[in-house]
Amino acid sequence: MNQYERPELFYQSRIKELEHTLKLLNRKRIVFGWARFTTILLTAVIVYNSWEASTILTISIAAAGVSLFLFIVSKDIDNKETIENFETLVSVNKSELEFAAGNYHGAYDGKKEEPENHAYAVDLDIFGKASLYQYINRCNAEKARKMLAERLLTPLDKSVITHQQDAVRELSSKSLWRQQLQAIGIKEQISVSTEQKVIKWLDNAEKHFDAVFYRSLLFVYPAITLSALLLYLTDKINSGIFSGLLIVFYLISLSISKKITPTYRLLSGIVPEINVLYGELNWFEKESFQSKTLVDLQKQNKHGGSKGASEEILELKNILNRFDVRLNVFAFVLLNTFLLWDLWQIKALEKWKQHNKPIVPRWFDCIAQIETTNSLATLAFNHPGWCFPTIVDEHFTLTAEAAGHPLIAENNRVNNSFNIAGVAKIGLITGSNMAGKSTFLRSIGINIILAFAGSSVCAKAFNVSPVYLISSMRITDNLAENTSTFYAELKKLKTIIETVNNHEKVLILLDEILRGTNSLDRHTGSAALIRQLIRQNAVALIATHDVELAKLEKDFPGNINNYHFDVQVSGEELYFDYKLKQGICSSLNASLLMKKIGIDL
């Protein structure tokens, strides 16, 4: 579907198509309004003029008029729902244009999904304003948002990554399908609370109405109450007796409804979310897929080869809608007094529960997986120049061709190629202030995270072996714990050292080691750490201003490779090209920057 080199053109074209259709639908809405008015008016006029001619004719005309009116109303409701859907789709496309322009900072940023003391989440801006999560998230369901966060925090297994890539590729080619899924989900967030309510109800055994007595009562009771009503209407019993019977019937129905009320309270209010669950699963079930992940999800939604999830959910939704009759006091009293309405619904719910209990949790998981995959597919569609990485077995391998930071706009982004192979390898990156060292580390880190989530990555080609990422780049003090910046970094480095000593397969990203202490201790400690990482066969990328560390390459020629980012100085102006180069940096800019702010050197 991505027939445009620039996805923005697709979104602009789509908006024009939708807005044109909306104009036609709104005109139709006006027509329906006039049709309703005309039907009422004509029916009234004809009934008035035929009143004395024939009673049967008059009743027939009135019935025909009412039927036509209700038919027009139903069509008008359908048209209104279509308008609302198309308006949502317009909003989805406009939102994508805003994201493309970098205006996405008002979207949900997933900050509450960020765990404490994670190996890399804070350093690599995974959550929060202007974060990776905020940029790629298109999930609406609460569970889907949590699943997307988990994908960015914990790498998938290699086999799962491959299948996930296939699913992302397939959905990225189904732009209209993806947008409709989004439009359905926007109507109402499927909350974890609703899922928990449903699971709690499924796990709670019905204690009050299991007896055979109640199954018989469903049929015997209405026969008695309706017979009493018939006897009253045919003057077989007087109003006094009938009134007494009504009180008895009402008290019986009230005692039964009180036992049902806890279940109703548990499930009440979830119908809007159940509607969205139905809509998304129905939309998913109707589509044809080829990728294993999506095909398997469709199969899992069926219970023993019977009806699909959407059909079962529609049945549940209808039961809950019937339950909501109790919100109308008159209808509640009337239907329960004569028919035990609540008892009929609770028995219908129990029957539904027995049939669907094993499979219901899968439906919520399915929505989470679909929306998560949809988010990654939208990312792939929006960046047709990105690639799907290859996950290789050899530890350690990283080959990145023209890789860049995904959150930097394409017209401002400078891509770099880089590779590292084997263990006991250190990539030491020196360079000037603001030259791009930290951004390069984050570019590598974020692309690895995307790769292990089954996503496309911001690179022309990208190969990486399964590895756990761990970093120490953005260290802050903690007043609540009375922790200095230096001590906070030592705690992070301790975790890294323990991981390395356990010989786990990790890639370490370090930016300015031991920055919180004096220059002599910093150099001594940094050099010692590098030697220790080499002894333990670790792999690390280290950015530093300490060019003296680069001299360690002479002691470890097969283990340390020096790279740098430099700066060009013209007069008192600095020019950065942000290109990674081999060797040690020889051009520094701190003195010039200090001079520019007024320090007399």
CATH number at residue 454: 3.40.50.300
Confidence check: pLDDT of 358 > 50: yes
Q: What is the pLDDT of residue 487?
A: 74
Confidence check: pLDDT of 593 > 70: no
Domain end call among 103, 135, 151:
103
Enclosing domain of residue 556: 390-596
In a domain, residue 449? The reply is: yes
The tens digit of pLDDT for each residue in 213-235 reads 888 888 999 999 999 999 988 88
Q: How confident is the model at residue 9 (pLDDT cuts 50, 70, 90)?
A: very high
Same domain (yes/no): 318, 357: yes
91, 107 contact by CB (below 8 A): no
Same domain (yes/no): 314, 429: no
Same domain (yes/no): 438, 508: yes
Q: In sequence order, which ranges of 468-573 are alpha helices (DSSP H)? A: 485-501, 519-535, 552-555
Q: What is the pLDDT of residue 301?
A: 81
In a domain, residue 155? The reply is: no
User: What's the whole-number mean pLDDT along residues 326-346?
Assistant: 87
User: What's the whole-number mean pLDDT along residues 278-302?
Assistant: 93
In a domain, residue 455? The reply is: yes
239 CB neighbour count, 10 Å cutoff:
10
Report residue 388 as tokens.
């799907």
Confidence check: pLDDT of 482 > 80: no
Q: Are strands 425-431 and 560-565 parallel, antiparallel or unpaired?
A: parallel
Name the percent of the chain lying above pLDDT 70: 93
User: What's the whole-number mean pLDDT along residues 449-477?
Assistant: 91
Rounded CA separation 95/449 (Å):
25
User: What's the whole-number mean pLDDT along residues 394-402?
Assistant: 94
Same domain (yes/no): 343, 471: no
In a domain, residue 457? The reply is: yes
pTM equals: 0.89
Same domain (yes/no): 457, 526: yes
Same domain (yes/no): 367, 401: no
Between the alpha carbon of residue 530 and those of residues 12, 132, 337, 543, the distances in Å are 52, 30, 82, 12
Confidence check: pLDDT of 515 > 70: yes
Rounded CA separation 490/470 (Å):
14
Domain end call among 69, 103, 137:
103
Containing 192, the helix (H) or strand (E) segment is: helix 192-203
Higher pLDDT, 588 or 215: 215
Same domain (yes/no): 264, 402: no
Same domain (yes/no): 332, 465: no
Domain end call among 40, 75, 103:
103
Same domain (yes/no): 412, 547: yes
Q: What is the pLDDT of residue 147?
A: 97
Same domain (yes/no): 330, 264: yes
Q: How confident is the model at residue 113 (pLDDT cuts 50, 70, 90)?
A: very high
Q: What is the pLDDT of residue 3?
A: 47
Mean pLDDT of the chain: 89
Same domain (yes/no): 366, 394: no
Q: In sequence order, which ranges of 101-174 are alpha helices (DSSP H)? A: 132-136, 142-153, 158-172
Same domain (yes/no): 226, 341: yes
Terminal Cα distance for the chain, rounded: 60
